[in-house]
Amino acid sequence: MRINLTLQQLEAFVEVARTVNFRAAAQALHVSQPALSRTIKVIENAIDTRLFDRNTRLVELTPAGRELLPIATRILENFNSSFSELSQFLEGRSGHLTTIALPSAGVAILPDAIAAFCERFPKVQFSLLEGAAEVVRTTVYEGLADFGISVRPAAQEPLHYRHLFDDPFVLVCRRDDPLAARSSVSWSAFASRPFIAGNAKSSIRPITDAAFLQRGLHIAPALEYPSIAAGGALVAAGLGLTALPQLALQLLQNDALVAVPLQRPALSRAIGLVTRAGRSMSPVARAFMESLQASAKTS
């Protein structure tokens, strides 16, 4: 037998069972007593049995009513619990978030940001991906990540960009290199020394190429590194110098290396949040991105 009862009807039944008083139950439900009586009658007609034995002085559950009470209570509790979970999701306090970042951003930005966010919202779960700028853009566009942390995409790409901060470039050399004692150096420092460059698909290579072009320098890379860590290792081995954004220094962790600010020109790469155009963001993604933006403004 299929029984169609509404949540409102179940709530009315549970309240009468709880108070064993139609007047008190009606007041708690903010309905009139006749309306409550009609609701109980509708329920009894739907299941074809009495739920309450009642007279002018007494209201008590029938055996059918006692059987229904825990079922109705469980249904209402499950409903309220489910909507509480939905409410937390809609408020950005629960859910699952997938983000992809440049390796340097993933190390320098995300750990502390996630720790602070999870301290406030412990029900939020994270999946972390990393890759070069091209991989970040592709992953976000294909919907495999909620957003990315990367350099500014090209204007023609179907992506939105929200700026976080500018990441200045530094020269990286060995600690025993004469340049290590300088307070700053010009890009022309690479003219007389082997230059170790990022590969063509990195977010770093276009900026170093632009810096040399701006200075009128014709510099052919002596080596190309596949990763920041590999580039640092090549410099530490005495094979040349390189230029890195400051954020990338956290990927080196090499005491043999020193970073010196680059001037003339002072260049930086823009780092920000990348999302797919036309795609609705989940509440938790919006909340975390807002947290990242707020943190970037105060740092």
Q: Which of 166-175, 197-206, 245-254 has the largest mean confidence?
A: 166-175
Q: What Å distances lie between residue 76 and 73, 79, 113, CA to CA?
A: 5, 5, 38
Q: What is the pLDDT of residues 124-148, one digit of tens each?
A: 899 999 999 999 999 999 999 999 9
Q: How far is CA 234 from the centre of its chain?
A: 35
List C-alpha distances in Å: 28 to 12, 16, 32, 39, 167: 10, 10, 10, 15, 60
Buried b / exposed e over 10-27, threshold 16 CB at 10 Å, is bbbbbbbbebebbeebbe
Closest CA to 23 of 49, 68, 56: 56
User: Whole-number mean pLDDT of the chain?
Assistant: 90
- Domain 166-268 falls in which CATH fold? D-Maltodextrin-Binding Protein; domain 2 (3.40.190)
Query: CATH topology for 94-163+270-298?
Result: D-Maltodextrin-Binding Protein; domain 2 (3.40.190)
For the chain, which residues make up each domain, given as ranges?
A: 7-90, 94-163+270-298, 166-268
CATH code for the domain defined by 7-90: 1.10.10.10
Common-topology check for domains 7-90 and 166-268: no
pLDDT band at 85 (very low <50, low <70, confident <90, very high): low
Residues 265-289 pLDDT 10s: 899 999 999 999 988 888 888 889 9
Q: What value does the mean pLDDT take over residues 86-100?
A: 74
- Mean pLDDT value of segment 204-214: 93
Cβ atoms of 248 and 105 closer than 8 Å: no
Alpha carbon distances (Å) from 68 to 10, 35, 55, 65, 79: 9, 21, 21, 5, 16
pLDDT at 110: 94
